[in-house]
Amino acid sequence: MADLPDKYDDLPDKRRYWPGAPNTRDEGLGMLRLLTPEVVAAAARTQIQTGERVCLNWDLEKLNPPGFRRKPFEHHVKWVWEGVAFDDEYHFNPQQSSQWDGLRHHAAPAPNATSADQLVFYGGTTAEEILDPESARIGIGHWAKKGIAGRGVLIDYYTWVKEKRGITVDALTAHCVSLDDVLAIAEECGITFQRGDIFFLRVGLPATWDGMGEQDKLKYSQQAMPKHAGMEQSERVLRFMWDNHFAAVASDAVSFEVFPALQPEFDMHHHLLAGWGLPIGEMFDLDELAETCRRLGRWSFFISSSPLNCARGVSSPPNCMAIF
């Protein structure tokens, strides 16, 4: 991506970067174009050392019941040939558990000042195009053709803030992870970010969810405006994200960024997804990953993720593995 502006301050329009022509593979990949064969090969050479593997997929049945009036997970085992063979039937919304938010997931205000009330998706894609059964524009199927592979880096905020400040994060509160803390953790762990990295942030959702009773889970699912821990929204964070040229970001949080937005003008779903085409992963299971990083004394690893091959898909389970 030689055309990628080097610095955030070099962007002519900081709210959007749409270099790919409409309805092309380049547009559909968004920032995943950073994962060139050279970048992936370098990540494999430097990161795969012991062969240890950690899968980052949370149980498909979490969160259950889901929030935002989403359809709950269903799994049925059925005879396909009585007495001889079984089949599965799955009915699920990928947003209920670990998922990549695709470029069709979230819109932002249109760039045309005369259409300030109109919301468009990455590249200027309209809702009508996404609902058109003949259109696969910016569908997650573009990601499925090559997958997501490269160097991952973990910021284990959940452990760090507990050890440094005695705070156990409740991931279902509006707990804000500051950029200053992220940078402090990176420095302590010796993490130097590289172009094309996949950035992971751990805030501890699995511990929060598994510590709740069934009534509390039901109450959460019925909230009109639930609260989620996550990354702060600020222009400093946007500059950090752009200047490091991440290919994707992910967390074990429900919404990656703190929700409801504390600074809506810097909402990262608007900027990262709809504006820059940067995938956002949510509700990844990062517990064993953090334990492995701590045991090995290293906070980077090789990532392999295979989104569902659904041309018009909005989101997908990550089918993600870290290899050390």
Tell whether the model's pLDDT for residue 188 goes beyond 90: yes
pLDDT digits (tens, 9 = 90+) for 91-148: 988 888 999 999 999 999 887 655 556 899 999 999 999 999 999 999 999 999 999 9
Given the structure tokens 């702060």, which residue do they identify? 232
Query: What is the spatial distance between Cα 26 and Cα 32, in angstroms, rounded to a whole number?
Result: 9
- What are 145's two structure tokens? 């053709």
Looking at the chain, the whole-number percentage of residues with pLDDT higher than 70 is 98
pLDDT digits (tens, 9 = 90+) for 224-279: 889 999 999 999 999 999 999 999 999 999 999 999 999 999 999 999 999 999 99
Query: What is the spatial distance between Cα 161 and Cα 79, in angstroms, rounded to a whole number?
Result: 50
pLDDT digits (tens, 9 = 90+) for 32-58: 999 999 999 999 999 999 999 999 999
How many residues are present in the chain?
324
CATH number of 12-323: 3.50.30.50
Tell me the average pLDDT across 313-322: 97
Give the pLDDT of residue 109: 86
Query: Is the preceding peptide bond at 34 cis, omega within 30 degrees of 0?
Result: no
Give the pLDDT of residue 282: 97
Q: Whole-number mean pLDDT of the chain?
A: 94
Given the structure tokens 């804000």, which residue do they identify? 176
pLDDT digits (tens, 9 = 90+) for 164-173: 999 999 999 9
Closest among 302, 254, 324, 295 to 159, alpha carbons compared: 295
Tell me the average pLDDT across 144-154: 97
Give the pLDDT of residue 223: 86
Contacts of 112 (CB under 8 A, 6+ apart): 118
Dmax (CA) of the chain: 66
Give the pLDDT of residue 69: 78
Give the pLDDT of residue 113: 55
Contacts of 309 (CB under 8 A, 6+ apart): 141, 144, 145
Tell me the average pLDDT across 57-66: 87
Q: What is the DSSP letter of 63?
A: S
Query: What is the spatial distance between Cα 118 and Cα 110, in angstroms, rounded to a whole number?
Result: 6
Segment holding 315, helix H or strand E: strand 315-316
